[in-house]
Amino acid sequence: MSTQPTVRHRHPSLRRRLLLGILLPVALFIGFNTLSLYEQTLASLHTAYDRTLLASAKSISEQLDVKGYDDAAQLRATVPYSALEAFEVDNQSQMFYRVSNLRGELVSGFDELPVWRGTIPDRPPYAALVDFYDARFRDRDVRVAVLLQPVSSSEGRTMAVIQVAETLEVRETLALQILRNTLLRQALLIAVIAFTVVLVVQRALSPVRQLSQQLQGRTEGDLSPIAAPSTPRELQPLIDATNEVMQRLRHLLRHQKRFVRDASHQLRTPLAVLKTQVQSALRGDVEPRQALHEISDTVDRATQLANQMLALAKVEQLRQQSTPPTSRLDDVLRTVALEISPLIAQRDLDFGIHTEAAAVQAHEWMLRELSRNLLHNAVRHAPLGSELTVDLRADRHHVALTISDHGPGIDDELATRLFQPFSAGDVRAGSGLGLAICHEIVQALGGSIVLTNRLVGSRVAGLDAVVRLPLATPSSDSAPAGHAAQSAA
């Protein structure tokens, strides 16, 4: 017989979740920060190199001369191109210039350099009539500085327009170098963060791995509490919950073992008796009718024993369930009393019942089983023709059920032992499980049950079985506060 391997769904590990949760926002922030830094670097480079362009334009303005005034003025420029070489950086960029008058007529420089058509800013960045803008010249991106420079001499006066353009290789090269250096440092930062997260997670999960090894190293059936004094406090709720589950499992396992042990022990006797009776009937040792009666009695006792043992198991099963519903104990008690009325009549008992409305938080089956076992036990042990009373009263917090007979009572030692399984006062009258079932039900409902002798003076007048259970809610039912019924069989 082959066993199927356990299918384990792969979920993201804690390490991966932390890496994604930390590195993804950090990477997005670094990307945004790098882009912003690149733009700021370009702006700073433009500011620095624009100053160089302005210095170039001023240097050119020193080489200008004029003859004539205003519209009749004629500008003259003696600017060799070599004068701009001092402003070219590392031979990576080229500079071009154009000198013209206000009408755009070329005086000196490159005629194909577009004529400036802009305006001087209201607040120029420098103490000069200067404007900067980006343009295309000879299929290359250039940065252009425009200087409006007054030119005067002993022979005239006019305004010159000086344009100096520079290609952007140096600026872009420096910006990319700064960008690469920044990205390298940011990548190193991400690597440090990732290594730190992995290291911290590895150390933080060390108690979890130790706990897992401790559980895996346990022997089969070891449900003792987990001892982990050095576990971080964040894991303590998990350990406490696990210990609580283990405690419940340990209790269920003990109950199961006890049930199997008791069942195998208690059912062995009636089955052996039944087998002996059948063999005796087959041999003809007894009359067939008598043999059938004996077999029927043995089957009845075995059936009662099996039903009571199953009832004990069901009580434990209901105990482990969630919050039970609310049931009316008074209704259940009257229904059970009506069901066993033929047994009451058979024993000619003077039976009386008094109930008050009482809601108990319990499964109806548990209340029915509790009432049936107590009443059956009282009817079976009450003297023929005696009085048997059932009284159910409720106060603000509890309900008290008292079943009183007029029998001989019991001694104190037997009163406590009767609540133990298979401890019967008379082994011929029962299996000794009825009161044990009642005790388990009452314990599961958070109540109490006692057997006390009722005394009249120094004489025992009977036995009282008293059960106290907590009320589900304060008694406010619409049913009458109390009603009684009395019948004599």
Q: Which fold has domain 23-176?
A: Beta-Lactamase (3.30.450)
Please give the CATH topology (third level) of the domain spanning 326-488. Heat Shock Protein 90 (3.30.565)
Query: How many CA atoms are closer than 13 Å to the CA of 438, on its beta-carbon side?
Result: 24
d(CA 93, CA 413): 113
| Residue 282: φ, ψ to 5° | -65, -35
CATH fold, domain 238-319, is: Helix Hairpins (1.10.287)
Using only C-alpha atoms, the chain has a radius of gyration, in whole angstroms, of 52
pLDDT value of position 475: 42
CA dihedral (125, 131, 135, 138) positive or negative? negative
Give the integer Cα–Cα distance in Å for 161 and 149. Answer: 6
Rounded to the nearest 5°, which phi and psi values hold at 224?
A: -70, 155
Distance CA 353, CA 91 (A): 118
Task: Name the residue among 61, 75, 77, 99 with its Cα closest to residue 156.
Answer: 75
Nearest to 112 by CA among 163, 178, 181: 163
**Which residues have CB under 8 Å from 115's CB, separation 6+?**
98, 100, 104
β-pair type (156-167, 398-404): unpaired
Amino acid identity for residue 47 in this structure: T
- State residue 72 phi and psi, 5-degree precision: -90, 0
- What is the 3 state secondary structure string of 48-68? HHHHHHHHHHHHHHCCEEEEE
How, if at all, do strands 350-355 and 483-488 pair?
antiparallel
Look up residue 287 and give its DSSP letter: -
Instruction: Give me the pLDDT at residue 261, please.
Output: 62
Give the pLDDT score at 87. Answer: 58
CA 139 to CA 430: how far, in whole Å? Answer: 113
Rounded-to-integer distance, Cα 223 and Cα 246, Å: 6
Q: Which amino acid is at 154?
A: S
CA 74 to chain centre: 87
CA within 13 Å, CB half, 314:
16
Q: Where are the domains of the chain?
A: 23-176, 238-319, 326-488
pLDDT computed for residue 263 by the predictor: 61
- Per DSSP, the residues of 337-390 read HHHTHHHHHHTT-EEEEEE---EEES-HHHHHHHHHHHHHHHHHHSPTT-EEEE
Both tokens assigned to 136: 């295309």
Judged on CB neighbours under 10 Å (0-12, 13-18, 19+), 259 is middle
Q: In a structure prediction context, what are the per-residue pLDDT tens digits for the chain, which is 489 residues long?
A: 444 555 555 666 777 787 788 888 888 888 888 888 888 877 887 788 888 888 888 888 888 888 888 777 788 887 766 656 655 555 667 888 888 888 888 888 888 888 888 888 877 777 788 888 888 888 888 889 898 888 888 888 888 898 998 888 888 888 888 888 888 888 888 888 888 888 888 887 788 888 888 888 878 777 788 777 777 777 788 888 888 888 877 777 776 776 666 666 556 667 777 788 888 888 877 788 887 887 887 787 777 667 766 766 666 666 666 677 888 999 999 999 998 898 899 989 999 999 998 889 888 888 888 898 889 888 888 889 899 999 999 888 889 999 998 888 887 777 767 767 655 545 444 556 678 778 888 888 888 988 888 888 778 888 889 999 998 864 444 344 444 444 333
The CA–CA distances, whole Å, from 439 to 78, 105, 358, 467 equal: 121, 117, 20, 9
CB neighbour list of residue 69: distance below 8 Å, 6 or more residues apart: 156, 157, 158
Q: What per-residue confidence (pLDDT) applies to 473?
A: 62
pLDDT (0 to 100) of residue 97: 87
- The C-alpha atoms of residue 230 and residue 239 are separated, in whole angstroms, by 12
What pLDDT is recorded for position 3? 47
The partner residues of 455 in beta bridges, in order of sequence, read 460
